[in-house]
Amino acid sequence: MKISILTLFPEMFVGPFDHSIIKRAKEKGLVEIELINIRDFATDKHQMVDDSPYGGGVGMVMKVDVVHRAILHAKSSVILERSDNAAIESHKEDPISRSRSFQDDNKKTKVVLMTASGKPFKQAVAKEFAALDHLILICGHYEGIDDRIKHFIDEEVSIGDFVLTGGELATMVITDAVTRLLPGAITDGATEDESFSLGDDHPLLEYPHYTKPQVYEGFAVPEILLSGNHPKVAMWRHEQALEKTKRVRPDLTKK
């Protein structure tokens, strides 16, 4: 799949995707992560990406036309990769008409705006995103983006009930959570038995894990894990997961 990140600060992304599982997923061709600088789509000579709010008030608002052009560019880059015909060439200089011409081609694409006022990002949403061909993530900044952007996006997503300075860290979190779910990114089966993997109807945190040494500073590994009795181990793990969920996230068990 392809993940396009629209940002005013592409330099913030140096590092987070260059290690461990995400790095390997990129090398294996499971995911392509593209950074698009929103400023490249400003058309005036000062390359303005924001302006003062209508109606007054503090802060600056990101301009809808600039962000919209960046979205259309992101959409059309996948279309161009998929096909090489001359019709596409003729649209190259005009992202708006180019995107309109090929909208039907674009079914498994989603445009998602990062904002503290969006719907909560959960494991179920990560799974939904991992099934797409193209995920386009937009990082908001300043006081947000002109509200008319809602006509050009599919959804708004928040990574938690707190306010970040911008959407960049949120897109890093989402890119990580989605990439590790792509088939082949991590050991087969590893994502089936972890926190939240059973979905919203059966929320369960993960059971505890142990490895050597068997005793550390007087703290021993639970006996049951040394017994070799797999059904009993499975039962114990389930009980532990239930107990931890009740203790740490009582809100999840009150359904």
- Which residues contact ligand ADE by CB under 6 A? 114-116, 140, 158-160, 162-164, 167, 170
Cβ nearer to ligand ADE, comparing 129 with 236: 129
Reduced to 3 states, what is the DSSP secondary structure of residue 53?
coil
Rounded Cα–Cα distance for residues 118 and 161 (Å)? 10
Q: Residue 175 Cβ, how far from ligand ADE at the closest point, in Å?
A: 13
* Residue located via tokens 């498994």: 108
Cβ nearer to ligand ADE, comparing 78 with 178: 178
Cβ nearer to ligand ADE, comparing 158 with 179: 158
Phi-psi region of 220 (alpha: psi -120 to 50; beta: other; left: phi over 0): beta
Q: Residue 82 Cβ, how far from ligand ADE at the closest point, in Å?
A: 30
Cβ nearer to ligand ADE, comparing 119 with 238: 119
Q: Quote the DSSP letter at residue 120.
A: E
Q: Measuring CA to CA, which residue among 205, 137, 209 is closest to residue 175?
A: 137
Q: Residue 238 Cβ, how far from ligand ADE at the closest point, in Å?
A: 32
Residue 223, judged by CB atoms within 10 A of its CB (0-12, 13-18, 19+), counts as exposed
Cβ nearer to ligand ADE, comparing 123 with 158: 158
Q: Residue 220 Cβ, how far from ligand ADE at the closest point, in Å?
A: 41
Rounded Cα–Cα distance for residues 238 and 242 (Å)? 6
Residue 184, judged by CB atoms within 10 A of its CB (0-12, 13-18, 19+), counts as exposed
Give alpha helix (H) positions in the chain: 20-27, 64-82, 86-91, 95-101, 123-130, 168-179, 230-248, 250-253
Cβ nearer to ligand ADE, comparing 11 with 161: 161
Q: Residue 114 Cβ, how far from ligand ADE at the closest point, in Å?
A: 4
Q: Measuring CA to CA, which residue among 68, 73, 132 is closest to residue 99?
A: 73
Q: Residue 16 Cβ, how far from ligand ADE at the closest point, in Å?
A: 16
